[in-house]
């Protein structure tokens, strides 16, 4: 993490609007199912990556277990729909609430115990594994068999006739996450989080309620992860404990932020585009499962060595800006 937090110039709104216009045009310029699916997955990775980035990048709370909030959101929305007859659209706020509650519990237990750094990362990983075991053991989640959501294509049922419907929904979520990151970068709340990230003891000396701020940001991050889990369940129409509580989801969230640029507004989007590209290329060219993450991990090592602020640093250097968060 760089110390030049305020060195970069503000991102002009014309850049935000230009990128949004390009994203809106994408499914019309590339209407094939393959390309639209690529866009959906890239934006999905960007959204869950931004969810991790809110706490891991902006606040420096490095978590290995954000999949706990993601999986709880996926199961909360699916259980609401399949067991209690709620409209799947209610799954989005339900998943956000479930993710926020679990994140609040994890934060309160971890931060009150004074856990930070690698200890906090490991305890979040443990919570994710505990939830995987629980979801594998109880009837309401379908146990190890998981939950299959019936295909009933209609907008009211959160299922679209064309994949472009899912594309525009995840674009809305991703755009909202970028707006949130931009707000954090400019707000006093974001400044307090940056102070905590850079030096927690100094932040306390400045009068910042470190415990409260850390709980708040993890709850916000957890709510976003929960919504990502709901979208995942409705897009693939099937979840099980291994899929939604698998460590690979936490790894993907962390990697897209770290490779793109943790603590930046557009870093997760850059990382997500790269991850989606590598995933599709390796799937088409080889049947080796998990190869994309192996390649991605190798890229992470290279980037940490040569671009510690992530790929976004390349754009910043070309623009003549100093290193740091943007």
What is the rounded average pLDDT of the residues 202-230? 96
Mean pLDDT along residues 186-210:
94
pLDDT tens-digit series, residues 296-324: 778 878 887 888 888 887 776 655 554 44
Supply the pLDDT for residue 158. Answer: 92
d(CA 282, CA 129): 28
pLDDT digits (tens, 9 = 90+) for 31-81: 999 999 999 999 999 999 999 999 999 999 999 999 999 999 999 999 999
Contacts of 12 (CB under 8 A, 6+ apart): none
What is the predicted pLDDT for the residue at 180? 96
Mean pLDDT over all residues of the chain? 89
Q: Which residue has the higher pLDDT, 280 or 190?
A: 190
Interatomic CA distance for residues 20 and 301, integer angstroms: 31
pLDDT per residue over 43-55, tens digit each?
Answer: 999 999 999 999 9
| Predicted confidence (pLDDT) at residue 234 exceeds the cutoff of 90 | yes
Residue 285 has pLDDT above 90, yes or no: no
3-state secondary structure (DSSP) of residue 154: strand
Question: What is the distance, to the nearest Å, from the Cα of residue 186 to the centroid of all Cα atoms in its chain?
Answer: 20
Domains, the chain, ranges and CATH? 13-318 (1.10.3470)
- For the stretch 77-96, pLDDT in tens is 999 999 999 999 999 999 99
CA gap 211, 228 in Å, rounded: 26
pTM of the model: 0.91
Give the dihedral of Cα atoms 191, 196, 202, 207; nearest 10 deg: 60
pLDDT average, residue stretch 215-237: 97
Q: Is the pLDDT of residue 257 over 50?
A: yes
């Amino acid at each position: 993490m760089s110390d030049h937090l305020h060195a970069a110039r503000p991102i002009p709104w014309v850049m935000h609007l230009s990128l949004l216009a390009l994203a809106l045009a994408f499914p019309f310029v590339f209407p094939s199912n393959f390309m639209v699916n690529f866009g959906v997955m890239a934006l999905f990775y960007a959204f869950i990556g931004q969810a991790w980035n809110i706490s891991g990048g902006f606040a420096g709370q490095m978590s290995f277990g954000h999949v706990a909030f993601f999986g709880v959101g996926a199961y909360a929305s699916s259980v609401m729909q399949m067991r209690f007859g709620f409209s799947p659209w209610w799954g989005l706020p339900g998943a956000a609430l479930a993710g926020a509650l679990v994140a609040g519990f994890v934060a309160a237990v971890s931060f009150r115990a004074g856990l930070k750094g690698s200890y906090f990362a490991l305890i979040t990983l443990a919570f994710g594994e505990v939830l995987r075991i629980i979801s594998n053991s109880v009837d309401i989640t379908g146990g190890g068999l998981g939950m299959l959501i019936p295909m009933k294509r209609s907008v009211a049922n959160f299922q679209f006739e064309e994949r472009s419907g899912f594309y525009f929904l995840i674009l809305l979520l991703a755009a909202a996450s970028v707006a949130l990151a931009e707000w954090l970068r400019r707000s006093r709340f974001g400044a307090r989080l940056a102070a905590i990230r850079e030096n927690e003891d100094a932040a306390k000396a400045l009068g910042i309620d470190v415990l409260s701020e850390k709980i708040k940001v993890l709850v916000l991050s957890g709510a976003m992860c929960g919504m990502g889990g709901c979208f995942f369940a409705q897009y693939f129409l099937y979840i099980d404990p291994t899929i939604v509580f698998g460590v690979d989801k936490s790894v993907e969230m962390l990697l897209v932020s770290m490779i793109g640029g943790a603590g930046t507004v557009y870093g997760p989007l850059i990382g997500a585009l790269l991850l989606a590209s590598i995933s599709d290329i390796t799937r088409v060219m080889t049947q080796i499962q998990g190869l994309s993450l192996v390649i991605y991990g190798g890229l992470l090592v290279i980037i940490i060595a040569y671009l510690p602020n992530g790929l976004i640093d390349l754009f910043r250097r070309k623009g003549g800006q100093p290193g740091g968060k943007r």
